Structure 1
Amino acid sequence: MNQEGADRSRRRFLTGAVTVVGGAGAVVTAIPFLSYWQPSARTQAAGAPVEADISQLRPGQRINVEWRGKPVWIFRRSEEDVEQLPELNDRLSDPESKVASQQPPYAQNTARAIKPEIGVLVGICTHLGCSPLFRPEAGSVDAGWPGGFFCPCHGSKFDLAGRVFQGVPAPTNLEVPPYWYPSDGRVIVGEHQDGEAA
C-alpha cells in the first residue's frame, strides 16, 4: 500500500471515529436538556388519582395519602361516632355543609361521606393552611371535646366529619376531595366514580 492509500485509510478511520464520538457526545449532552422539558414522575403523579387500601382500617385509625401535593386523610369512624354527628349540629358553623366548594354533592350530608363510617378529608386547615391533629378520643383536647380534628396553630376545631365548630378562626369546613370505592377495601382519591378527574 502506498503512502497516499494509507493517508486515505487513516482519514476515513479518523472521520468515522470523530463522527461516532461526536454523535455520542451530542446524545449525552441532549439527554439532560430534553429531560428538563419532561415533567418528573412526581409531577405527573401529583394530579393523578391515588388508590388506597382501607381493608385493615379499624375505628379510630387513619391513613394518609398525598394527592396534588396535599395530605389526604382516610379514617374510620365507629358506630357511636357516626350516631353522635347530628348531636353536634348546634355547635357547628356549617353543620349542613352548605359551602358547595368544600365537598362533592355526594358528600353533602351529616357524615360528609359516601359511607358514613369512612371519612376522606384534605388535611389542611381552612384558616391559614396548617395541618390539624387527629384527636378522635372524646376529651383528648378539652373536657367538652367530642373527638375530631384540632389545629394547634390557631385553635380551630373540626368534628369527625371535618365540620368546623363555631367561634374558631377557620371560616369553613375541611375540604372533602372527590373519591369513590372500586371495591369494599379500596378507595380512589382524586376522581369521581364516573372516572372524571377533579
Structure 2
Amino acid sequence: MSEGVDQNKRRFLTLLTTAVGAVGAGFAATPFVLSMTPSARAKAAGAPVEVDISQIEPGQLLTVEWRGKPVWILRRTKDMLAQLPQHDDQLADPASKNTDQQPSYAQNTGRSIKPDILILVGICTHLGCSPQQKLAIGPASGLGEDWPGGFFCPCHGSKFDLAGRVYKNVPAPTNLPVPPHMFLSDTKIVIGEDKKGAA
C-alpha cells in the first residue's frame, strides 16, 4: 500500500463534497425563499376588480369587494348632483385638498371621473367602521330636516355627503377615500387600476 496522499483523489472528493453541500443548501433554502413570495390567494385579493355598472339605476348603490374592503359604486341622480355645491360651508374639505384621499382625476366637487358615478371605499376614516347609506333627504333619513343625503357612520356619528366629503365637527378627519379606477366603457369599470397601472 502506498504511503503517499493521492492529490487528484483529494481534489475530486473535495469538489464532490462541495457540490453535494451546495445542492443540499439549495434544497434547504427553497422553502424559505418560496414562503416570502405572495400566494395566489394573496395576489388575487389585491388584484384589480372589473365591475359591470349597466344594471345600477339612478339613486342606487352597489357594493363590491376590493382588497378585502367594501367599495361603493353610486349612480347619482340629477337632484343628488345639484345638492353637492349647496352645503360646502358645512364640509371640512369641500375642495378635496387632501390629495391622499383621491387620485388627481377625482379631485373635483363630485370626486369622480363621470359626474353621475361615484366610487368610494366604504370605510370611515375615523376608526374603520362601515358607514350606512342615508341617501334619502330630510326627515326620511332620520338625520334631520336639512340632511341632503349621504353616508352616516353609526359608530361615532361621522357624516359624509354624496361625494364622500366629511362634514365639519365630526370625529372622521378626512373624506372617504376614492380608490384608483378607470372606465373600460360606459358600462364597465376597473377598480384598483387606472391609466397609471395597478395600485
TM-score (normalizing by structure 2)? 0.78
Are positions 1:44 and 2:46 aligned together? no
Deviation of the 1:186 alpha carbon: 0.8
Are positions 1:186 and 2:188 aligned together? yes
Q: Is the 8 A contact 1:104 1:177 kept in 2?
A: yes
- What is the alpha-carbon distance in structure 1 between the residues aligned to residue 142 and residue 88 of structure 2? 19
Tell me the residue number matched to 1:68: 67
- What is the alpha-carbon distance in structure 2 between the residues aligned to residue 145 and residue 75 of structure 1? 18
- What is the alpha-carbon distance in structure 1 between the residues aligned to residue 149 and residue 48 of structure 2? 29
User: In terms of mean alpha carbon deviation, does 151-160 or 39-48 score higher?
Assistant: 39-48
How many residues align? The count is 164
Q: AA paired with 1:75?
A: L
Tell me the residue number matched to 2:126: 127
Tell me the residue number matched to 1:14: none
Tell me the residue number matched to 1:16: none
Q: CA RMSD in A?
A: 1.6
Structure 2 vs 1, CA of residues 193 and 136 (structure 1 numbering), >3 Å: closer, same or farther?
A: same
Deviation of the 1:40 alpha carbon: 4.4
Tell me the residue number matched to 2:21: none
Tell me the residue number matched to 2:54: 55
Secondary structure of the equivalent of 1:45?
helix
- What is the alpha-carbon distance in structure 1 between the residues aligned to residue 124 and residue 87 of structure 2? 19
Deviation of the 1:193 alpha carbon: 2.5
Q: Is the 8 A contact 1:181 1:193 kept in 2?
A: no
- What is the alpha-carbon distance in structure 2 between the residues aligned to residue 193 and residue 113 of structure 1? 15
- What is the alpha-carbon distance in structure 1 between the residues aligned to residue 175 and residue 167 of structure 2? 9
Q: What is the identity percentage for the equivalent residue pairs of Structure 1 and Structure 2?
A: 62
User: In terms of mean alpha carbon deviation, does 95-104 or 59-68 score higher?
Assistant: 59-68
Deviation of the 1:112 alpha carbon: 0.1
- What is the alpha-carbon distance in structure 2 between the residues aligned to residue 91 and residue 124 of structure 1? 21
- What is the alpha-carbon distance in structure 1 between the residues aligned to residue 59 and residue 134 of structure 2? 9
Tell me the residue number matched to 2:83: 84
Deviation of the 1:75 alpha carbon: 1.0
Tell me the residue number matched to 2:178: 176
- What is the alpha-carbon distance in structure 1 between the residues aligned to residue 63 and residue 186 of structure 2? 18
Secondary structure of the equivalent of 2:108?
coil
Unaligned runs of 5+ residues in structure 2 are 1-30
Unaligned runs of 5+ residues in structure 1 are 1-32
